[in-house]
Every structure is written in C-alpha cells, then in structure tokens.
Structure 1
Amino acid sequence: MADPLRPSLMTKMRASLAKERDAMVLEALRAAGKAAYDEMMYADQAREQLAADGRSVWDAPRSTGSLLVAAWNGYVLQTLGERFLDADYAAGPRTVGYVPAVTFDQVSAWLSAVEGWVSRARQARVNPDYDIALELSLPAGLPEWAEERTCPPEHLSALLAAVPPLRQHIDVAIYGLERSGVPEEQQAAVNRLKQLNAEATAAADYAEALRTDRHDARLHELIENNLKNALEIWFHVGQLAAMPGLLTRYESLRLAARPDVAALPGGHRFDPWCLTDRVTLRRWQTDKQAKEAIAHLWRNDPDPAATLALKVELDEALADGDVVLYRTRDGSSCYYECPWAPLYEVRRPLQIGGRKLRVLQQFTLDVSAQGGRFRRGIVVGPFEATEEVEY
C-alpha cells in the first residue's frame, strides 16, 4: 500500500476530482493514539494482578477501575478509527492518504477523543486515589456517528473488522467479573451485564448473517444499524464490567431552561455580548467590525428568546459541572465567528438545544445571521486553532 503521508501528484489529482479530504491530520492522530494500546496492556495486567492477589473488580481500588474504564474507551475509539482508515485505503488504493468527507468526520471524532482517555488511564496508574467516576458521568457513549444518506460500502467492512477484537475483550472482562466469585447482592448486576452483552452479540451476529455479495441500499442500512447498535452496547458493557457499580446509577432529566424577559433585546438587562467568550470579550468590544456584527446578529434574530433560552440551558449545565470551559492546545478559548462563543467540553452526557452531547465531546454555540438565514444551535468539535476571524 502507498504511504498515506506521501501521496503522489496523481493521487492528489484523483482525490481532488473525487472531492476527498487529506487524511494527514487523521494519520497524525492515529500515530499518537497508539498509546491507547499500551494503556490497554496495562489494564489487562491490572486485571491479572487482581486475580493473583485473590481480588476482583468488585473490591478493586477505584484507581484500578478508572484505569480499566479509560483504557477500554481509548482502545475502542483507536480501533474504530484505524479500521475505518485501513478499510478506505484498501477499497480505494488509488487515493491512499485521502478519504471521503463522511469518513474524515467519523474518524476525526473517534481519534480526537482518544487523547482524553489515554490521559485519564495514565493518571489512574500513578495516583492510587484517582476516581474517574468523580470527574465524568459514566458509562460514556461513543462520539456521534457521522450521518450520510449513502455511506461508503467500506464502512461496513470497517465495522465488521472491529467486532472480533472488541468482542474478545468483552468476553475477557465479563469472565474477570465472575472468576473470583460474585457477591450475592451483585449477582443481579452481573446478570444484567450479561444480558446487555447478549443483545450486542445478537446484533453483530445478525449483521454478519445479512452480508451478501450483492449490494442493496436497504440491506446495507440494516447491517450498518445492527453493527452500530452492537458497538454502542459493547462500549458501555466494557465500562460497566470495569466498574460494575455503575449499573445502579441513573441520570435525572434536566428541566427546560427559561430566559429572563428583562434580558431580551429592549430589556433593561439586555447584554448584546452575553453569548461572547469572557476571556476574549475586551478584544471584540474594541473591534469596530465585531460591534457591527453583534448588532447585526440581534437585529436579524427572529426569536431572541429561543437564543437566550439556549444560553440559559448551557449556563445551567456549566454551573452543574456537566460541561466545563475548554481551551485548545495553543490556549484559544472561543469560536472563530460572531458571536465568538466560548468553547466547552462535556463531563457528563446531556442534551442541549436538542443535541445529544457525549462525555469529552467539545462543542460551542452556533448562532449566526449571515447569508440572510438565521442559524441557532450547537456545533461540535474537535476544534483547532486558526487565525481566521469571521464577522
């Protein structure tokens, strides 16, 4: 196979005609994310050490459970990202180093999330007091699936290729729960976990049985949905097997946010900069173009109450610790376009503005009156530093 980091001129031309995206960033993320395999090795060793000591995950230190959870999540995400890249290159050897936009978005979402889990696995290895469950709401979900009306056929090959290694690790994890004996009061939890695993296994087996040499769009979608369902369940099962106490935890629903009427445009507490990042606020307030852009935004907002309700909803999540403010590696703290909203990272899964957000997912407010059409919602990362500014 050609080197994806050194595409030829002809490869670049073919990729351009096919409207494929350069995978250089993805390859860099792949290389860095291989640390997830090391953490998985440490996690396997930790399980074996528990057995050698006559213990199990039921009475393991919280740091050990934290290592098992973080290592599993990083391993799954790295495996999925690599399988998708390899499947695309195998299916299109003439454009190795470039991938379709939907593949780029999906792989980027997975591989960009690996770093956070690797970091937490390492923290758990060096700090015997570390408890990941105090920092994040678990079990975490997979990053959102990149949606496309017609997904490339190689996506199915990639999903199928990811099933065997993940399935094997799940079997080992569940075996580890039972081999040292299950406390009587925890047997129901183990039964529930085995039921979840059976559900995922059935979905994967059914998808495999549906495969045929002929391509059919409806069959493709059915196989894909079953595989996605299996992988999402296994992602949870791996975390629950690492910290079985999580089976008894549930998240409460968040009440709908209500905007302050006095804070609406025309009200005595209205702040046109209320959506703007506080760290960089002074910069925008002294920028003539920025002030004009903010005024234009509010003049063209057909429903300011809905915009402020979204902001209140986000502020409540921030106050509750469900999300935290986020900075890129170079210290950037806001989105590049008006109203230059702050960046956030999810600590507990939640829903804002109708958008489901997952643990460690980066996002920001997306409010714009450009192009004659108002836009209001959430845009998700990962985010990268840029010198571009859009007014």
Structure 2
Amino acid sequence: MPDPMRPSLMTKMRASLAKERDAMVLEALRGAGKAAYDEMMEADRVREQLAAGGETLWDAPPATGSLLLAAWNAYMLQTLGEQFLDADYAARPGTVGYVPAVTFDQVAAWLSAVEGWVSRARQARVNPDYDIAAELTLPAGLPDWAEVEPCPPEHLAALLASVPPLRQHIDVAVYGLERAGVPAEHRAGVNRLKQLNAEAAAAADYAVALRTDRHDAKLHELIENNLKNALELWFHVGQLAAMPSLMAGYRPLHAAPRPDVATLPGGAHFDQWCLTDRITLRRWRKDPQARAAIAQLWRDDPDPAATVALKAEIDAAARAGDVVTFRTGDGSSCYYECPWSALYEVRRPVRLGGRQLRVLQQFALQAAAGPGAGAFRRGIVVGPFEATNEVEY
C-alpha cells in the first residue's frame, strides 16, 4: 500500500476530483495514539498480577480500576479509528492518504479522544490515590457517530473488522473480573455485566449473520445499527469490568429497536402519522397540504425502517423518563417542519440517534427531504425552540 503520508501527484489529483480530504492529521493522530496499545498491555499485566495475588478489583485501590478503564477506552477508540482508515484505503487504493469528509470527521472524533484516556491511564500508573470516577461521569459514551445517508460500504466493513479484537479483549476483562472470585454482595452486578456483554455479542453476531454479497439499503442499515449498538455496549462493558463499583448506578443504553415490518410503509399496521405530535395531530390530519406532505415524506424516505427505529428510540427514552414532551412559552408542542414531531426536553443524559444529549436540552425528530437527490435528513434537531407561525410542508 502506498505511504499515506507521502501521496503522489496523481493521488492528489484523484483525491481533489473526488473532493476527499487530506488524512495527514489523521495519520499523525494514529501514530501518536499507538501509545494506547502500551497502556492496554500494562492493563493486562495488572490483571494478571491481581489474579496471581488472589486479589479482586473490589480490593484494589482506585488507581487500578482507573488504569484499566482509561486503557480500555483508549484502545477501543484507537482500534475504531485505525479500522476506518484502513478500510477506506482498501476500498479506494487510488486515493490512499485522503478520505471522504464523513470518514475524516468520524476518525477525527475517535483518534483525537485517545490522548485524554492515555493521559489518565498514565496518571493512574504513578498515583495510587488517583480515582478517575471522581473526575469524570462514567461510564463515558463513544463520540457521536458521523451521520450520512447512506452509510459508505467501507464504514460497514470497518465496523465488522473491529468486532473480533474488541470482543476478545472484553471477554478477557469479564473473565478476569470473576477469576479471583466475586464477593457475594457484588454477584448480582457481575451477572448484569455478563448479560450486557451477551447482549452486545448477540447484536454483533446478528449483524455478521445478515451479511450478503448483494447490496440492499435496508439490510445495510439494519447491520449498521446492530453493530453500532454492540460497540456502544462494549464500550460501557469494558469500563464496568475495569471499575465494577460503577455497576451500582449504571443505567443501560437503549437497545437499537428492530421495527416490525408491518409498521413500515406498505405494512398492515403502517401509520403515516406515527412521527407526528399527538397533541396537534387532529389539526394536521384536517389540513390537505399536510396530508400531501406526509405522504410525500414517506415516498422520499430512502430507509423508512431507520426513521421508524429512531422514533422508537425516542419513545423508549420517554418511557424510561430520560426525556419528556415539552411546550414553548405560548404552548406550542410540535416542530414547525413536516412530520411535525413533538418537542422534547432531556431529563437525564441520553444518547439518541447516535447523538449525546445533555440535561435540559430541547430536541425534536427530523425526517425531511432536502434539496437534491440523496439529501434526505433523518436525525435529531436540537433547540432551544421558540414560538413561530411558520409551517414547513
């Protein structure tokens, strides 16, 4: 493979025509982030040392769990970043050293976060009193996923390639937690941790089993959602296995919903108004322009299953009390744009549609065709929201 740090003139020309971005910064981050592997090796050594001495992580000083947790986070972020770069280079050998903008943003989010975790792992090495849980809210979540429709095939290949090494390390960490014995009062927490690991593994196995040589957008989206769910769960499982005291206050991620095909367009139970605010629903149903707009929305949507799944995510968060419906000062309860989603306010930190939302942040669901082919917008639109008389059909 050509050296990505020394692209030829022809490579630069091809990349310019394809509107790809120079990956020099990403490669520099990749090189610096290899320190994550050293910290992971040190974490493995510490686990072996604990087991040899008959100690458990509940007996160890806070710095031990801090080292293991920070090392895992650094390792996973470094692995994901490298897999995405390598998958893009393999898919586009003519532009090695350059990547599409969405790949650049995603890899940058991961690799730029590695240094902070490596630093904390090294602090834990030298200060036996260091407690990362006193500094950060844990377990931390993965950086936001870069949203693009459709997801590039090489991103899916990278996600699939990242599963085996991450899964192996997680299995070692969970086994190490039980190796020296689990105090009776912590057995329920460890059982819950093993359940989370099994949930992640099942999502990954399901995604792998769905692979086919033929490309199908809906199948591609289903595989991607399951892999993302598995990786987000494993990111948490690794931290909980490193610092099992966190299990006491842990609130699990919402699993990626798998919509019933009967609730999708053409299905027996499809409701074209399923995304619309319930309070104002009668108004929109009586509006001929709104009826035409909502029908056109579903015709334009390239992946209705993903849209329905996003709404199911929000509904699950509402049932859990993580979010509540919201009204503006004048009593408005819906977003101004078709499909006129309800407005929501966050009560507890939550991740929806791949986006981390903070307490009191306002948001609504967005699903709308943009200008130009392939410009469908699906995701979370964030407030603050104000009253308006404008209506976007």
Same fold by TM-score, threshold 0.5 exceeded? yes
| Separation of aligned partners in 1, 2:383 and 2:32 | 32
Displacement of 1:349: 7.8
Displacement of 1:353: 3.4
Structure 1 residues 295-354: Cα deviation after superposition (integer angstroms, max 9, x where no partner):
xxxxxxxxxxxxxxxxxx9xxx9xxxx9xxxxxxxxxxxxxxxxxxxxxxxxx9834634
The aligned runs of 1:131-210 (5 Å cut-off) are: 131-210=131-210
Number of the residue aligned with 2:290? none
1:350 maps to which of 358, 364, 367: 358
* Long gaps (5+) in structure 1: 258-312, 323-347, 356-374, 379-391
Displacement of 1:183: 0.8
Number of the residue aligned with 2:245? 245
| Separation of aligned partners in 2, 1:135 and 1:206 | 37
| Separation of aligned partners in 2, 1:215 and 1:235 | 29
Kept after mapping to 2: 8 A contact 1:5/1:27: yes
The aligned runs of 1:1-391 (5 Å cut-off) are: 1-249=1-249, 350-351=358-359, 353-354=361-362
TM-score (norm 1): 0.66
Q: Secondary structure at the match of 2:137?
A: coil
Displacement of 1:19: 1.1
Letter in 2 for 1:25: V
**Cα 1:132–1:255 shift into 2, 3 Å:** farther
Kept after mapping to 2: 8 A contact 1:58/1:177: no
- The count of aligned residue pairs is 279
> Runs ≥4 in structure 1, deviation > 4 angstroms?
250-257, 375-378
TM-score (norm 2): 0.66
Structure 1 residues 48-73: Cα deviation after superposition (integer angstroms, max 9, x where no partner):
11111110112111000000000000
Q: Secondary structure at the match of 1:55?
A: coil
Displacement of 1:254: 10
Displacement of 1:249: 1.4
Percent identity of paired positions between Structure 1 and Structure 2: 78
Structure 1 residues 264-319: Cα deviation after superposition (integer angstroms, max 9, x where no partner):
xxxxxxxxxxxxxxxxxxxxxxxxxxxxxxxxxxxxxxxxxxxxxxxxx9xxx9xx
| Separation of aligned partners in 1, 2:100 and 2:50 | 45
Structure 1 residues 114-168: Cα deviation after superposition (integer angstroms, max 9, x where no partner):
0110000000000000000000010000000000011110111101111001100
| Separation of aligned partners in 2, 1:353 and 1:4 | 41
* Long gaps (5+) in structure 2: 252-320, 327-344, 350-355, 364-380, 385-393
| Separation of aligned partners in 1, 2:233 and 2:194 | 11
Kept after mapping to 2: 8 A contact 1:137/1:349: no
**Cα 1:256–1:53 shift into 2, 3 Å:** farther
